[in-house]
């Protein structure tokens, strides 16, 4: 060991890491919407140690962050992202995308998402192992990004939304297997869930109905039998995995809810019967309004979508916001989600605007991206609020989002796990 290396080692071994003190002018309680003025949040390691009135005096070894002019709240969470890609027009679509490129793309998307104030995401669908690997790289400090909960590869049925061979010529592929995410029986379903557990996923994502962007005719038809759904949910429960179901059409949605799915994604043609069933079963609704608006707008552009996709985008896209409005009024549990990867990563904040435009109060919208998302992920004891003992995921805004929700576009401070990633105050 040379002298320089020895000196560095000695410095590291004797250095005592300080606490971080946030002097906060306006601390928003996302549970009640109340604001506490002039408080100090003490961060020790990756957790919130205390919250005290006034601006606490600091010790010489403490790091102090001045947020006296800011509005502070928990880091946002997005329950429906696809970090490994973004939709591109038909004319720009590459003939082949290597998994290595998708992994690098996901890392770039993750950084954009974190800088937008989203410190936790649920990634619902990969080409393979991209976000499973990225989750590990971020947790080990090799990459910058949000805390990731991932479903890995989506589970679909033959020809269904999520079958990776849709649109290919018959001679160019072998029938995909449960390992690749395609099932056609309860036994296949069990194998697919167990494979994802083996891969290291946090949960299971299925495509309970057709979808908009798949190269297939229907965007609404049910695509799993009751027996297949029961096998998926039971096996996922056995392995401690949450479940999420992409669903546009009523029948497929209803089957998934009855099977015990934890969340319905998109929910486009949800009606009163399904809403009441979801309330009874405790099923969460993840609306993804901005994805619906995005595909509806792009459908107006000639040749943007393949011809099989365009009519689905025209029909399904504009419906999601009005469905959200009805579901909120009916009292369905709502967790924030965007489907980013359809639209651009880092624009996740736009969902807040669309939710409030549809009648949800700003306080409820903020709660949907903090407290409710934490409940859906089963981590409400760790995240979703700023309280002593919770993980230190904290963001700051320059103005009050309860008065003007549009301020969420301008996140000026981001802390995740006690580490500051953005401070543009």
Biggest alpha carbon–alpha carbon distance for the chain: 74
Q: Residue 169: pLDDT above 60?
A: yes
Q: When comparing pLDDT for 17 and 319, which is higher?
A: 319
Confidence of residue 93 (pLDDT cuts 50, 70, 90): low
Query: What is the predicted pLDDT for the residue at 251?
Result: 97
Query: What is the predicted pLDDT for the residue at 308?
Result: 84
- Name the pairing type of β-strands 413-416 and 394-397: antiparallel
Same domain, 236 and 110: yes
The first and second tokens of residue 280, run together, are 């009874």
Residues in the chain: 425
Q: Residue 379: pLDDT above 90?
A: yes
Query: What is the predicted pLDDT for the residue at 160?
Result: 86
The per-residue pLDDT for range 172-205, each reduced to its tens digit, is 788 888 999 999 999 999 999 999 999 999 999 9
Same domain, 213 and 340: yes
For residue 159, being part of any structural domain is answered with yes
For residue 6, being part of any structural domain is answered with no
Helix axes of 186-199 and 226-238: crossing angle, nearest 10 degrees = 30
Query: What is the predicted pLDDT for the residue at 37?
Result: 98
- Name the pairing type of β-strands 35-44 and 47-53: antiparallel
Same domain, 81 and 202: yes
- What DSSP character marks residue 334? B
**What is the number of other CB atoms lying within 10 angstroms of the CB of residue 314?**
16
For residue 183, being part of any structural domain is answered with yes
Q: Tell me which residue range forms the domain holding 293.
A: 76-376
Most confident range (mean pLDDT) of 76-90, 125-139, 204-218, 309-323 is: 125-139
- What DSSP character marks residue 102? H
For residue 251, being part of any structural domain is answered with yes
Confidence of residue 334 (pLDDT cuts 50, 70, 90): very high
Same domain, 62 and 108: no
Average pLDDT, the chain: 92
Q: Are 418 and 46 within 8 A, CB to CB?
A: yes
Q: Is the dihedral of CA 70, 76, 82, 87 positive or negative?
A: negative
The per-residue pLDDT for range 230-289, each reduced to its tens digit, is 999 999 999 999 999 999 999 999 999 999 999 999 999 999 999 999 999 999 999 999
Q: Residue 325: pLDDT above 90?
A: yes
Cα separation, 406 vs 190, whole angstroms: 44
Same domain, 288 and 363: yes
Same domain, 112 and 147: yes
Q: Residue 11: pLDDT above 50?
A: no
Q: When comparing pLDDT for 93 and 277, which is higher?
A: 277
Query: What is the predicted pLDDT for the residue at 14?
Result: 42
The first and second tokens of residue 45, run together, are 């390691």
Among candidates 118, 343, 154, which has minimal Cα distance to 244?
154
Same domain, 196 and 231: yes
For residue 147, being part of any structural domain is answered with yes
Q: Integer distance in angstroms from the first to the last C-alpha of the chain? A: 42
Same domain, 352 and 414: no
Same domain, 85 and 198: yes
Q: Mean pLDDT over residues 148-155, rounded?
A: 97
Query: What is the predicted pLDDT for the residue at 10?
Result: 46
For residue 1, being part of any structural domain is answered with no
Among candidates 400, 389, 395, 387, which has minimal Cα distance to 414?
395
Query: What is the predicted pLDDT for the residue at 313?
Result: 84
- What DSSP character marks residue 285? E
What is the b/e burial string over 225-241, where b = at least 16 CB atoms within 10 angstroms of the residue's CB? Answer: eeebbbbbbbbbeeeeb
Q: Mean pLDDT over residues 202-220, rounded?
A: 85
Query: What is the predicted pLDDT for the residue at 175?
Result: 85
The per-residue pLDDT for range 55-80, each reduced to its tens digit, is 998 888 899 999 999 999 999 999 99
Which stretches of 239-349 are DSSP H helices? 250-259, 272-281, 289-298, 310-316, 320-330
Task: Give the domain CATH number at 85.
Answer: 3.20.20.140
Same domain, 257 and 294: yes
Query: What is the predicted pLDDT for the residue at 5?
Result: 43
Task: Give the domain CATH number at 55.
Answer: 2.30.40.10
For residue 274, being part of any structural domain is answered with yes
Q: Residue 316: pLDDT above 70?
A: yes
What is the share, in percent, of the chain residues with pLDDT greater than 70? 94
Number of domain units in the chain: 2
Same domain, 81 and 71: no
Cα separation, 405 vs 366, whole angstroms: 9
Phi first, then psi: give them for residue 150, nearest 5 degrees. Answer: -130, 150
Q: Residue 15: pLDDT above 60?
A: no
For residue 5, being part of any structural domain is answered with no
Same domain, 43 and 185: no
Cα separation, 355 vs 286, whole angstroms: 11
């Amino acid at each position: 060991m040379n002298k320089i290396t020895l000196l560095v080692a000695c410095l590291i071994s004797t250095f005592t890491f300080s606490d971080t003190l946030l002097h906060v002018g306006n601390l928003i309680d996302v549970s009640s919407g109340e604001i506490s003025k002039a408080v100090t949040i003490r961060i020790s390691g990756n957790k919130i140690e205390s919250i005290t009135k006034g601006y606490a005096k600091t010790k010489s070894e403490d790091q102090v962050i001045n947020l006296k002019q800011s509005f502070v709240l928990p880091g946002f969470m997005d329950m429906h992202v696809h970090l490994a890609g973004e939709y591109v027009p038909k004319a720009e679509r590459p003939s082949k995308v290597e998994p290595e490129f998708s992994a690098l793309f996901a890392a770039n998307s993750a950084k954009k998402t974190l800088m937008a104030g989203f410190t936790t995401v649920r990634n619902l669908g990969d080409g393979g192992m991209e976000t499973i690997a990225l989750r590990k790289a971020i947790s080990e400090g090799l990459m910058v990004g949000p805390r990731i909960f991932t479903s890995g590869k989506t589970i679909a049925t033959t020809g269904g939304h999520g079958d990776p061979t849709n649109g290919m010529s018959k001679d160019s592929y072998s029938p995909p297997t449960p390992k690749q995410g395609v099932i056609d029986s309860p036994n296949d379903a069990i194998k697919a869930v167990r494979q994802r557990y083996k891969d290291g996923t946090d949960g299971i994502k299925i495509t309970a109905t057709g979808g908009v962007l798949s190269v297939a005719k229907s965007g609404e038809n049910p695509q799993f039998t009751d027996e297949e759904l029961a096998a998926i949910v039971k096996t996922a429960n056995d392995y401690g995995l949450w479940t999420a179901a992409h669903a546009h059409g009523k029948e497929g949605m209803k089957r998934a809810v009855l099977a015990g799915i934890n969340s319905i994604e998109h929910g486009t043609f949800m009606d009163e019967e399904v809403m009441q069933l979801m309330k009874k079963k405790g099923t969460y609704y993840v609306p993804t309004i901005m994805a619906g608006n995005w595909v509806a707008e792009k459908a107006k552009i000639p040749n943007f979508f393949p011809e099989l996709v365009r009519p689905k985008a025209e029909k399904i896209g504009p419906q999601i916001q009005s469905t959200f409005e009805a579901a909120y009024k009916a009292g369905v549990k709502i967790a924030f989600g965007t489907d980013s990867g359809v639209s651009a990563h880092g624009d996740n904040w736009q969902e807040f605007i669309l939710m409030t435009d549809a009648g949800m109060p700003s306080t409820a919208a903020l709660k949907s991206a903090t407290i409710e998302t934490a409940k859906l992920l089963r981590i409400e004891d760790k995240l979703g609020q700023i309280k002593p003992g919770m993980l230190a995921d904290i963001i700051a805004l320059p103005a009050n989002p309860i008065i003007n929700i549009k301020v969420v576009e301008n996140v000026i401070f981001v802390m995740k796990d006690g580490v500051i990633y953005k401070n543009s105050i």
